[in-house]
């Protein structure tokens, strides 16, 4: 297992997801929004958010998109690539884009522009983690779980080279450059 330090425990995450769901439910213009999660990091957060909204009488439609910008190093490549688009007709729909972390802002900005071109009537963003110190594109999420420091995070869906996603909490990865070197060594 990757060496890491606990940042946000399970209970704090569960409490915050419920709080976010209540706020989102109050602001939704209709009870059947489309929630679009960005794979792969947001899948656990998306699932918990969908269930929390369901407990409040909201019946979301769910879709997934896949984008990437992280290459072999633990730093953004700067290029955002769309691998899987939403299959739903979003014209005139209420859409909530859900992501695991807002870092540089490139991914959220690109996906928001892409979804806005599909002409939804309402488009908002929700992220579990926000790292404002790393922002390179001027964008803010409408709903934020936690503001976090500039460090590599794992757990609750976030990973480092496929490891750490299943942790039920969010943790700071110790020495991410070591993990990168180990992965490169094993793939050669």
Any catalytic annotation for residue 174?
no
Q: Give yes or no for a contact between 65 and 122, defined as CB atoms under 8 angstroms apart.
A: no
How many beta carbons lie within 10 A of that of residue 169, not counting itself?
16
Share of residues in the chain with pLDDT > 70 (%): 87
Instruction: Tell me the pLDDT tens digit for each residue of 65-91.
Output: 998 765 544 444 466 777 888 889 999
| Choices 1.20.1370.10, 3.30.43.10, 3.40.50.2020, 3.90.1570.10: CATH for 4-68+85-187 | 3.40.50.2020
Q: What is the C-alpha to C-alpha distance for residues 30 and 93, in angstroms, rounded to an integer?
A: 9
Share of residues in the chain with pLDDT > 90 (%): 76
Is pLDDT of 95 > 60? Answer: yes
Q: Give yes or no for a contact between 27 and 125, defined as CB atoms under 8 angstroms apart.
A: no
179 membership: H or E segment, kind and range? helix 176-187
Q: Give yes or no for a contact between 143 and 31, defined as CB atoms under 8 angstroms apart.
A: no
pLDDT of residue 78: 60
For the chain, domain boundaries: 4-68+85-187
User: Please, which pLDDT band fits residue 179 given cuts at 50, 70 and 90?
Assistant: low
- The pTM of the full predicted model, rounded to 2 decimals, is 0.89
Task: Return the exposure string of 128-159: e unless at least 16 CB atoms fall within 10 Å of the residue's CB, then b.
Answer: bbbbeeeeeeebebebbbbebeeebbbbbbbb
Q: Helix (H, G, I), strand (E, B), or coil: what is residue 171?
A: strand
pLDDT of residue 20: 98
Q: Which of 48, 100, 103, 130 is catalytic?
A: 103
Q: State mean pLDDT over 35-40.
A: 94
Residues 6+ apart with CB under 8 A from 103: 76, 131, 134, 135
Residues 6+ apart with CB under 8 A from 151: 172, 173
pLDDT of residue 84: 87
Q: Give yes or no for a contact between 113 and 123, defined as CB atoms under 8 angstroms apart.
A: no
pLDDT of residue 82: 77
Instruction: Tell me the pLDDT tens digit for each residue of 119-141.
Output: 999 999 999 999 999 999 999 99
């Amino acid at each position: 297992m990757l060496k890491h330090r606990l940042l946000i425990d399970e209970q704090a995450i569960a409490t915050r997801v419920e709080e976010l769901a209540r706020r989102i439910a109050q602001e939704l213009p209709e009870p059947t929004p489309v929630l679009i999660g960005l794979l792969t990091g947001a899948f656990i957060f998306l699932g918990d958010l969908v269930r929390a909204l369901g407990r409040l009488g909201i019946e979301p439609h769910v879709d997934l998109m896949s984008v990437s910008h992280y290459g072999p190093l633990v730093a953004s490549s700067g290029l955002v690539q769309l691998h899987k688009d939403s299959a739903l007709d979003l014209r005139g729909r209420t859409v909530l884009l859900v992501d695991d972390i807002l870092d540089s802002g490139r991914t959220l900005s690109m996906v928001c522009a892409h979804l806005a071109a599909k002409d939804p009537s309402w488009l908002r963003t929700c992220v579990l983690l926000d790292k404002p110190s790393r922002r390179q594109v001027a964008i803010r999420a409408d709903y934020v779980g936690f503001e976090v420091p500039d460090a590599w995070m794992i757990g609750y869906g976030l990973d480092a080279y496929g490891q750490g996603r299943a942790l039920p909490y969010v943790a700071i990865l110790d020495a991410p450059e070591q993990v990168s070197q180990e992965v490169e060594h094993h793939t050669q």
